Every structure is written in C-alpha cells, then in structure tokens.
Structure 1
Amino acid sequence: MTSFQDRAILAERAIRAVLPPTPLQRNVHLSEKFDADIWLKREDLSPVRSYKLRGAFNAMRKVLSDDPEKGHFVCASAGNHAQGVAYMCKHFGVKGTIFMPVTTPQQKIDKTRIFGGDTIEIKLIGDYFDVTLRAAQSHCTEVNGHFLSPFDDEDVIEGQATVAVEIESQLGALPDRIVLPVGGGGLSAGTRSYFGERCAMNFVEPSGGACLFSALRAGRPVDLEQVDTFADGAAVGRIGMRTFERLKSVSLADTIQIQEDRVCITMLEMLNIEGIVLEPAGALALDALIDLKDVVKGQTVVCIASGGNFDFERLPEVKERAQRFAGLKKYFVLRMPQRPGALKEFLGILGPDDDISRFEYLKKSARNFGSVLIGLETKKAENFAVLLSKLSAAGFGYTDITDDEILAQFLI
C-alpha cells in the first residue's frame, strides 16, 4: 500500500493537466516586519482564486477512474468549493448539481455558473447551510450521483495536500514553519499528513469558527454553538471526522484563534502595500504572524494565502472593522445640552486629528438634553482618552456603544 506522501505526489503530478503550480513568493514587506524569511503560497492566484479545485479534481479523477460512467457530481457550498467543483465539472465534461443557500451573493452564483458553464445546474435552497446540505444529499441519492464533500473526504484531503508537495518542491528545502488556515480541515489535514513532523506547523482559525480548537479540547469533533460567518472560507461549525482523525494529535499550543476584526487590518495592509487581494480566510495565516512574532524571528516560514475571492462591495465593512479593532473609530450616544452654542462647544473639544464620520439626532431624552449618535475617527487610538476626558469635564454625557453588538445592530 502506497503512503499518503506518495499518493499526494502522484496527485500533484496529475493536477498539472489542469493548472500549473501556484507561485511561492518571498514577501519582502512581511520578512522585514517580522525579521524572518517569509514566503507566501499564493493559492489566491489559482484559476478559481482558492485551493479548493485541487480536492475537487483529485476526488473526481479517482471516481471517474474507478467508474467512467459515474457522470453526475453533487455538492453543497456557498463559496470556493462550489467554484472548484464547477470548474472541474467543465474540465472532465461531467454533470454537476451545485446547491447554494438562497442568501448566497449573486456575485458568487455568477462566478460558479461561469466556471461550470452548461455542465452544471445551480439550485438555490434554504436560508441556512444545513438546509442546503440536506437538500443536496437527498438529491444525490435520488440521481445516484457522487457527493463531493468540501473537506471530509480522503480523496479531497489528498488533493489539498498537493499544496504541500508544491511548497517543498518550490522552496527546494523544508521550511522551518508552515502557517495555514483551518476551516473544515481539508487543507490542514492534507498538509500535516504530507509533512508529518518534518517542520513546525501552526493552525489558524477565526475566533468565531474555532472548530479545530474545540474538537482538540473535547477529544472529538463537536458542534459550535454559534459561528461568525465573516471569514466564511474558514467559518465551519464542526470539523470533519476524517480531517480530525489526521489532526487529533495537534497540540492546542500550535493552534491560533484570531479575532475577525483584526484580520481586516491585515487584509487592508496587504491590499494597500502589496496590491494583494485576500478574502478574510485567505489572510488568516498572514495575520497569525503577529502572534508568532517572537517565534518566527530568523526562521523560514511559509504562510498559505488560501483564497482571494473578495467582493469589493465589502471593502467599507472591512475598513470599518479594522478601524474599530485598532481603536481609531468609535461610536457614542452623546447627551447634548439643548442650549445655544452647545454644538459649537462640542466641536471645539475635538482635537486636530479627530473627525466626525456620523452625526444623527436620535431624540430629545429630556427637556434640556438631546441624544446624538456620533461616529468619530482619529489618527491615534490614544486621542480618544484625551477627548473623553474633555467631554466629561465640559459636562457632556456619553455612552460608548462601539462594542455593544445589540445597540450597534439598531443604530450603526
């Protein structure tokens, strides 16, 4: 029986019929910033702007090799997996049915349709993914198709491991450390199974979707009570059984959970400085260098940039999240005295680096006072301490609602 490493190498050779190796690029900016030799594995530059087509290719290749008449593949996905499956359906000339939630952005639906052309059918079912998944699995049984899991499939795991094969070949040596994102675990299980203990690895998850961390702590895959879908490419509510079997010996100390808002800072940094467009999940490994800054110093480190399917309509949200996390933007409900000159007095309290981004009267809360929703931006986080001290001294009452999720939903 061939080893996993041998099978991954064979899969990497086979996938050359579909795509060349994605670039492994040394990043000068990050190398200087962290005093290390930082390389980026640019999966965002694949034909579908993520690594997902690798697993789809390998699984479909093997199914068709065993049964050439098996010409119908089914999947459920709202993102990169759907596009990878669609791309491969067109490549192999087989039929695909792709189930997506009704709430899927039109841009993702259109891209999936472009990749698959007339070989695929897209069905929009369910407001939530679990409803979509059940519908896809039921349909797969009805048509006697082959269901393609986005991660919990041995052939998919093997296909994702082709990323690791390329890293070793392109670098010409083993890196000291690999940093990579974790969603359902396909990429991380494949990469760890290929490299084994030959190099250090860090597994990065969004705080609102830390299914690997939760599974390691429980000793088995568990359902997360709640999932933050902002980093949708890695926001998975339960890690796969097969992927966890390959990851269960990972140390908790080698996992990193990152706040979604902090990832936004890295996304903007890479866009503004390097011109690299990354989706939130695609920026996780790069953002984790902040937590690893003392560890990676002097090391050769490969960060896997797993995807670049980013809708620029989300850019204002990304900027907002980044500013709030950095302490450069806050929202307040201000108690404004209802007297002549009060607004002018307030404006005089603002410093030269302070700017009003939003100003809205909510109501008169009392005869002599009114409530104002105000958004403020500044250039240095410490400016807010000075501003708030001046507001208190001048008799302006305020409530900071920046981190109050309930109030923010209604007011901001």
Structure 2
Amino acid sequence: MGDDGLDLLRRVLTARVYEVARESELDPAPALSRRLGNRVLLKREDNQPVFSFKLRGAYNKMVHLDALARARGVIAASAGNHAQGVALAAARLGVRATIVMPQTAPQVKVDAVRAIGGTTVEVVLAGDSYSEAQAEAARLQAEHGYTLVHPFDDPDVIAGQGTVGMEILRQHAGPLHAIFVPVGGGGLLSGVAAFVKAVRPEVKVIGVQSTAANAMARSLAADERVQLDEVGLFADGTAVKQVGVLTFAICRQFVDDMICVDTDAICAAIKDVFADTRTVPEPSGALAIAGLKQYVAAHGLKDQTLVAVCSGANMNFDRLSFVAERAEVGERREALFAVTIPEERGSFRRFCEVLGGHSLTEFNYRIGDTREAHLFVGVRTGGREESEALARAFRAQGFGVLDLSDDELAKLHLRHMVGGRSPLAQDERLYRFDFPERPGALLRFLAQLHPDWNVSLFHYRNQGADHGQILVGLQVPPAERALFARFLATLGYPHRDESANPAYRLLLCEAPAGTRAEALRAI
C-alpha cells in the first residue's frame, strides 16, 4: 500500500462519524443463507438515523471544515441520501446548507431533507439526474462562494464511508470470503475497499451496480473514467453518469470485481431482505444483495461467509407495487408465458391439466380468432428449470408457447393490454367474481365454468389479498339467460354483473357509434 493508501487508512481510523452515526448491525440472513448454501450477513446501514450510510461521509467532511468555510455555508448535490446526511450535519453543526436535488428524487427523500435540516437548509430542485443537479450546484457554488460537500469524490467523505468496512472487520473476525458493496459514484466502495485491503487483503471486495447505471463497472473495464449518456433511475441512489477521479483511482487499485444486476434481480433482493428482516430497503440499498446472489450462482459457491452492505431504506411507497410485481420474476419464482391453444372445446381443460398443481398468478385472455386462443399466463414456479419443464409440457400438448419472463415489453406493458373489442364476442355477458385466494382456487373456478357457454374474456392477477378477483366474459344467448342465472346461483362464488358498465361498453364492446357515445357520456 502506497502513501495515499496509508493516508486514507489513517483518515478512516480517525474519522468523526459517531457523533451522528451508529455502529450498524451485522445481521445474519437465515432464509437467504439456507437457500444459497452460504452464510449471508447483512450490514444494516438502512438502520442509520437517516436510513442510509451517507451521513458518515457528509458529517466527517463538514466537521473538519474550518471556521471560514463554515461561515460561507456549504452546498451539495444529491439524489437524496447524501442530502439527508448533509442536512443532519448542517443542523447539528449550525452550518447553513444549500442542497440541490434532481426533480426525479423520491418525494420521501426531499421531504426528509427539509424535515431534518429545518431552517439551516434550503432545498433546490434542478434537472432530471444527479449529474444535472451537480451542474446546478457548481453554478451556485461559483456564484455564492459556498464550500462543496461532494457526495463521493472527497477524501474525508470517502474516509467516513470507509468506517463501514472498519466495522465489518471488527464485527466479524472469522473467515470471510467477500464483501459486496453498492456503487454509484464510488465513495462507499472506495472507502470500504481501501480499508479492507489494508487490514485483511485476502477478503474480496466486490462492487455491485445496476445495469442501467454502471459507470464504475464500465470505467474499470476500460481502465479510464467513462461518462454515461443516460442512467436508469429505478436505483436512484446510485444513478451516477460518471464516477469520481479519486474514487476511480482507489477502486482500480483495491476492488476485486464488479457485478451488474437488472431491475428484476433488485426487486427480488428487496423481497429477500424483507423476508429475513421485515424491513424494505430502497432499490440501491438492495443492490449488494442482488449482486451477492448472482455471484454465488455464477461461481457455484458453497459454505462461505459473505457480507452485503444494505445501504439504505428511503423507499418511495408508490414503488412497492412495482417491486412486488417484478420480484417473483426476478427470483424465477414466477414464469410468464404466451400460450396458444386451439379455439375448441376441451383444449382449455387440457391447458388446466398441464398446469397441474401450479398456482396461477395471472391469466389474461380475449377472444379474437375463430381458430386459436392466445393466453397470457403467469405461473408460480420454483426456478428456471421448472418453468422450462412447464413450457415443454405445453408443447407436448400441441400448444404454442412463448416464454416472456425476460421480455421487458411484455412485463411492463403488454400484460395490461390483452383485450379490446372483438367482433367474435357476440352475446357476451361480463361478470366479476370473488374467490378465496388459496393455492389451486383459480383452477377450481376454471374447472366449474359451464362448457355450454364460451369464455370470451378472462382477466386475473394475484394481488396478494385474501380474496382474488376475476373478470370473465361468457357468451350467453338471450334464450339461455334464465339457465345461466341458475348456473350462477349454483356456482357458489360472489359475483356482480358488469355487462352494463359504461367503461366496458365504451372500450370492449362492438357497438354502434351512438351507443359508444352514450357510454362515454355515462362515464
């Protein structure tokens, strides 16, 4: 280790972080450990007072400022977590702070910065990314003479973040294969890597990034700093277009490897953390866990001790539905298929028989062809091998199968667009049914549908509630309405006739233009 490394080691050992931060727990993740066949430990930086590790570096930088720099006030650019650290430090030290945040920053983070900083902090929203917010902060700094508190490319900030690595080694003195660290600009990774390699060089330090914001991975691969044109904002805490000069130099020297993970893998990791801790990390906070899982799978690792830094928990509540939607696919616990079956009696029952004991998570269908029925199906599975076996079973029945589990268009949009008007849906009656959400309940419902009435529309999605809701279109000629009413009475499921619903009439019914105009007025 050169003089620069020794200087950083000294800075970490003397960092003043514990006036605001706490030594976070190194908690076991028993469920994840059992599933992966390794001992997984989570470094719980999501338990910090601002729910992120960022207050370590921000405070360590600001507490070392001289009186003149404090008097001028400070400025920072941040997607949210660094902003909260600066706000807390400003309030604690009585320093005036201007914090520039991108307009895309989660509202929970913006509100937290204002609440933490109080009257000492002014929040400015500018740009759509951290880089654009950083440019505005640079302009304000030049105009007002503020002192910059950089979120990652500063030795005092890096040293503050490096105390996370110091704590890990103090808390776990036994064999340790690797530490996985989330990466945006590289402050946390460079601090942890420099300290760990100085004290225990045999321990691997592995950075983890989102595939949509992988500036450090690409820079290390190119052996020079790479600037991205665009970054994905799902993992907003690490959405950085270009890493720092200092962080890049440190990571190039001390980091063993980089891993990039996609959005579905991040969502699955959020669910894994929740399963073991009953807490919900933000997407960037779950990056290291997603990378750890990918590393174990790629290297066939067994019986090793692995640490993942759970870096933050500033999750916007409105993202939870998306996370839940994608987590099962990310963990390969849900497979999505487009299945084509003959539009004839008996084929639907054969489809259900192929499913066997599998639970459906989604089922969308709209009649559109006299020869073939096209189904969008979600099935709960135990992994990729099981989904591949299910696809083979469908094909063995002569059904066409398209695996959509990795298809972004299908997962984001097309699953919600199965339907529309159909000239084949004559004499259609539309009903909503409720049924107890238990394994196999949907298939039992399907099996009870009367064979004399053709299913022209079907929509179901498991929402995690105790009761499932199904929307079904059945083609019932007017002369058979009384018989159909008796069938509904014996079916035993709560139901509601939606055939007169104005939105249904407008969007799904083949009706004269005047009728659609009436439906539009009714809405």
TM surpasses 0.5: yes
Question: Aligned partner of 1:113: which letter?
Answer: R
Distance 1:66 1:136 in 2: 20
Identify the structure with bigger relative contact order (alpha carbons < 8 Å, sequence gap 6+). 1
1:64 and 1:70 in contact (8 A); partners too = no
* More off after superposition, 389-398 vs 140-149: 389-398
Q: 1:171 Cα deviation (Å)?
A: 4.2
Structure 1 residues 116-157: Cα deviation after superposition (integer angstroms, max 9, x where no partner): 122222222223443332222212222221222211122211
Q: Distance in 2 between matches of 1:335 and 1:34?
A: 36
SS at match of 1:196: helix
The residue type paired with residue 209 of structure 2 is P
Partner of 1:3: 7
Partner of 1:309: 314
Alignment-derived partner of residue 220 in structure 1: 224
Does the alignment pair 1:210 with 2:211? no
* Aligned-pair CA distance for 1:383: 4.6
Q: 2:25 maps to which residue?
A: 23
Structure 1 residues 392 and 162 mapped into 2: Cα distance closer, same or farther (>3 Å)? closer
Shift in CA distance, 323/68, structure 1 to aligned 2, threshold 3 Å: closer
Distance 1:74 1:352, change over 3 A: same
Separation of aligned partners in 2, 1:39 and 1:336:
47
Work out the CA distance in 1 between the residues paired with 2:41 and 2:332: 30
Which one of the candidate residues 226, 229, 235 is aligned to 1:231? 235
Report SS of the residue matched to 1:195. Answer: helix
Q: Is the 8 A contact 2:21 2:55 kept in 1?
A: no
SS at match of 1:233: helix
Aligned to 1:160: 161
Q: TM-score, normalised to structure 2's length?
A: 0.68
* Counterpart position of 2:64: 62
Task: Call closer, same or farther: CA 1:37–1:96 in 2, change over 3 Å.
Answer: same
- Who is 1:132 aligned against? 133
Q: 1:179 to 1:106 in 2, by over 3 A?
A: closer
CA shift, 1:186, in A, is 0.3
TM superposition shift of 1:244: 0.7
Matched, 1:285 2:288: yes
Identity of aligned residues (%): 34
Aligned ranges 1:386-405 → 2 under 5 Å = 386-405=389-408
**Range with greater deviation from structure 2 (346-355 or 295-304):** 295-304
CA distance in 2, matches of 1:68, 1:122: 18
Give runs of aligned pairs for residues 7-406 of structure 1, distance below 5 A: 7-11=11-15, 14-28=16-30, 38-65=40-67, 67-71=69-73, 73-171=74-172, 177-197=178-198, 198-199=200-201, 200-208=203-211, 209-250=213-254, 254-290=257-293, 291-292=295-296, 301-335=306-340, 337-339=342-344, 343=348, 346-361=351-366, 364=368, 366=369, 368-369=371-372, 371-372=374-375, 374-381=376-383, 382-406=385-409
Cα deviations by residue, 1:302-357 (Å, 9 ceiling, x for unpaired): 43222222334333322332322343333344446555665555445432213151
Q: TM-score, normalised by structure 1?
A: 0.84
Give the C-alpha shift of residue 45 in structure 1: 0.9
Alpha-carbon distance between aligned partners in 2 of 1:174 and 1:354, rounded to the nearest angstrom:
41
Indicate conservation of the 8 Å contact 1:332/1:401, yes or no: yes
SS in structure 1 at match of 2:76: strand
* Counterpart secondary structure, 2:71: coil
AA at the equivalent of 2:53? Y
RMSD: 3.2
Q: Structure 1 residues 180 and 347 mapped into 2: Cα distance closer, same or farther (>3 Å)?
A: same
CA-CA distance at 1:159 after TM superposition: 1.6
> What amino acid maps onto 1:266 in structure 2?
A
Deviates more, 1:282-291 or 1:338-347: 338-347
Q: Is the 8 A contact 1:181 1:204 kept in 2?
A: yes
Task: Return closer, same or farther for 1:336/1:36 CA change in 2, 3 Å cut-off.
Answer: closer
Whether contact under 8 Å (2:208, 2:291) holds in the other structure is no
Answer yes or no: is the 8 Å Cα contact 1:125–1:135 preserved in 2: yes
By how many angstroms is 1:51 displaced? 0.7
**Aligned AA (1:264):** C
In structure 2, give the amino acid aligned to 1:231.
A
- Code of the aligned partner of 2:91: K
Partners of 1:182 and 1:203 within 8 A in 2: no
Distance 2:331 2:304 in 1: 28
Structure 2, unaligned runs of 5 or more: 416-523
Contact 1:231 1:281 in 2 (8 A): yes
Q: Which has the larger radius of gyration?
A: 2
Cα deviation per residue 1:338-377 (whole Å; 9 max; x = unaligned)? 556655554454322131514142x73x5544555x2312
Amino acid paired to 1:60? M
What amino acid does structure 1 have at the position aligned with 2:108? Answer: Q
How far off is 1:183 after superposition?
A: 1.9
C-alpha separation between the residues in 2 aligned to 1:141 and 1:119? 20
Tell me how far 1:228 sits from its aligned partner.
Answer: 3.4
The number of equivalent residue pairs is 405
Measure how far apart 1:68 and its partner are. 3.8
Q: Distance in 2 between matches of 1:195 and 1:124?
A: 37
Aligned partner of 1:178: which letter? I
Q: For structure 1, list consecutive stretches of 5 or more residues without a partner in the other structure.
A: none
How far off its partner does 1:397 sit? 3.6
Q: Secondary structure at the match of 1:67?
A: helix
Instruction: Please give the secondary structure, in 2, of the residue aligned with 1:380.
Output: coil
Offset, 1:205: 1.6
Distance in 2, matches of 1:36 and 1:402, equals: 27
Instruction: Tell me the CA shift for residue 166 of structure 1.
Output: 3.0
Partner deviation per Cα, 1:237-273 (whole Å, 9 max, x = no partner): 322111011122246x533333442233332122123
Q: Is the 8 A contact 1:207 1:260 kept in 2?
A: yes
**Distance change >3 Å, CA 27–CA 327, structure 1 → 2:** closer
Partner amino acid, structure 2, of 1:322: A
